[in-house]
Amino acid sequence: MAALTDERKIPVPQKGNYIRISTFELAVREILENKVPGSTAEVGVYRGDFAKYINQAFPDRILYLFDTFEGFDKNDTAIEQAKNFGDGHQDFSNTSTELVLSKMTTRNNCIIKQGRFPNSLNGLEDTFCFVSLDPDLYEPIYQGLVYFYPRLSKGGYIFIHDYNNKHYSGAKQAVREYCQQHNIGYTPVSDEWGTVVITK
């Protein structure tokens, strides 16, 4: 795929993630060509492997990085278990803020928001052109939509990962609940873990 611009070409990702990244690249083109205003964000950063693409595509915009950086919060896994979405026992603690920031090309534009989402917002008010929701579990995905969708600029995008991942069935439930409540359409993407895309 052709570059966004000579200096913003997104590297070809590892096999299995190509569709997600190429879909992201197309969304970025739309945002840039239509001059959609706003910052960027990711909820569920883990080791920063998708966040680095966001940072590279939007080098002149703030990137908020929301994560516990310690793995799943026990309150969210308790909700997951109570709703029979999964056990939430996967270990995503092998990360750190420094590891994530080391992958960013414009590190100075990154703002770490550590803690359980949405508590980690700490009163943040901003508008957004692109958001990645990838915390895997029902509660942070639903709360992510509650916070970000009203603040999404017209022409902006929200990517929700794991919508069609059978191991995280809470992701699909969160998207369907929020979108049905607010009459919002969404488009599934055929990437490895079933991303779904919302735009405004």
Over residues 115-136, mean pLDDT: 98
- Asked if 44 and 138 count as a contact pair (C-beta separation under 8 A), the reply is no
> Does the structure show a pLDDT above 90 at 13?
no
Quick: pLDDT tens for 56-87. Answer: 999 999 999 999 999 999 999 999 999 999 88
- The pLDDT assigned to 17 comes to 83
Q: How far is it, in rounded angstroms, from Cα 189 to Cα 191?
A: 6
Distance CA 70, CA 32 (A): 34
Asked whether the predicted pLDDT for residue 184 surpasses 60, the reply is yes
* Res. 6 pLDDT band, cuts 50 70 90: very low
Q: Does residue 1 register a pLDDT over 70?
A: no
pLDDT at 3 over 90: no
Minimum mean pLDDT range among 90-94, 98-102, 103-107, 115-119: 90-94
**Do 43 and 117 form a contact (C-beta atoms < 8 A)?**
yes
We report the CATH number of the domain holding residue 148 as: 3.40.50.150
| 4 falls within a domain | no
Residue 121 has, within 13 A of its CA and on its CB side, a CA count of 13
Burial 146-163 (b: 16+ CB within 10 A, else e): ebbbebbbebbbbbbbbb
- 122 in any annotated domain: yes
How high is the pLDDT of residue 195?
97
Q: Which two tokens stand for residue 110?
A: 């990154």
Percent of the chain with pLDDT over 90: 87
- Predicted TM-score of the model (pTM): 0.92
- pLDDT confidence of residue 71: 96
Angle, helices 138-148/74-82, rounded to nearest 10 degrees:
110
Query: Which residue has 């739309």 as its token pair?
Result: 30
- Tell me which DSSP letter residue 104 carries: -
**Contacts with 186 (C-beta within 8 Å, 6 or more apart), sequence order:** 160, 175, 179, 196, 197, 198
- Domain count for the chain: 1
Is 115 contained in some domain?
yes
Provide the 3-class DSSP secondary structure of residue 141.
Answer: helix
- The DSSP call for residue 41 is E
1 within domain boundaries: no
Burial of 135 (0-12, 13-18, 19+ CB in 10 A): buried
Number of other CB atoms surrounding residue 94 within 10 Å: 9
Q: Is residue 21 part of a domain?
A: no
What would the pLDDT profile of 156-170 be if each residue is shown by its tens digit? 999 999 999 999 999
pLDDT value of position 9 = 55
pLDDT (mean) for 39-68: 98
* Residue-range definition of the domain harbouring residue 163: 37-199
Is residue 22 in a domain?
no
| In a domain? residue 64 | yes
Q: Is there a domain that residue 174 lies in?
A: yes
